[in-house]
Structure 1
């Protein structure tokens, strides 16, 4: 009987151990499931954070590119403004040299030849930077010419006398030509 009780006790212990093992396995599985679920949640959270940071980075790169483009546009505009002011100042020198040539008349002295060469050199330099004389041969154009009087011997809407040459810089008018127009 003691052997039987020992067997029964061993069987009972084995059953309890098996039940305990099953309980531990179920608890371990539940713990693994909880761990897997929490890890999946963490992965999802990290993926969301990564997408957000990628979007922020892309936005920062876009803003930086736009800033560079804006600065370049402003720089070009500033450069054009400075060039325009400088060219306008040089036009006074061109006018003075033309007046000196007109005042010299038919005199072909070394001084008058030097003034002519200086004027040519100055006009060549201005043309390199886009400053050109406004056309006065194709009739009156209110956008390019400023009529300051009437030329009695000129035809209607034609330029009779050019009092002061006009100039443009890269297609923009620097100074209109002052002209007398026919009636």
Structure 2
């Protein structure tokens, strides 16, 4: 009887061990499935975050490029108002030279050298006089009157020179045009 009880106890113990192993295997399988699902979620989350990071980098590059373009344009045209003010001085020096006539005096030579120096400095910074030799162009010339001696579409007299700054019109040339 003692052997029977011992056998029963061993059988019961063996069944419990087998049950525990079966439960552990089921639990392990369930745990593996949970881990696989969790890994899948993490991979999807990683893909989303990578896409967001790539988008943020792309946007930052676009902002950087835009700011560089704007800074370049600002540098290029920052002197626009200042240059327009200098053009009045250029006009006044040219009027003084025209008023002096043909007589060469030291004062006139000084005015001419000052004008030449000012124009050279303006050219170094991208300020160029508008062409008035190749006919009327409404984009760079402002017609303020009709010149009866000029041919149709040709510029008769230049009343005030026009200038551009780095290709942008600062001031149109004021001209008279033939009919």
Deviations 1:150-175 (A, max 9, x none): 22222222112111111112222211
Q: How many residues are matched?
A: 179
State the alpha-carbon separation in 1 of the partners of residues 60 and 122 from structure 2. Answer: 37
In the alignment, does 2:82 pair up with 1:90? Answer: no
In the alignment, does 2:154 pair up with 1:165? Answer: no
Partner of residue 62 from structure 1, selected from 47, 50, 58: 58
Equivalent in the alignment of 2:148: 152
TM-score by length of 1: 0.86
State the alpha-carbon separation in 1 of the partners of residues 148 and 27 from structure 2. Answer: 108
State the alpha-carbon separation in 2 of the partners of residues 101 and 74 from structure 1. Answer: 40
Structure with larger Rg: 1
Equivalent in the alignment of 1:111: 107
Partner of residue 131 from structure 1, selected from 127, 131, 140: 127
Partner of residue 177 from structure 2, selected from 153, 175, 181: 181
- Classify the secondary structure of the residue corresponding to 1:178: strand
- Classify the secondary structure of the residue corresponding to 1:137: coil
Can you give the 5+ residue segments of structure 2 that lack an aligned partner in the other structure? none
| Preserved contact between residue 154 and residue 178 of structure 2 (Cα < 8 Å) | yes
Question: Post-superposition shift, 1:138?
Answer: 1.0
> What is the RMSD computed on CA atoms of the aligned residues?
1.9
Deviations 1:77-115 (A, max 9, x none): 433443222221111111011111111222222221111
TM-score by length of 2: 0.88
Can you give the 5+ residue segments of structure 1 that lack an aligned partner in the other structure? none
Equivalent in the alignment of 1:24: 20
- Classify the secondary structure of the residue corresponding to 1:136: coil
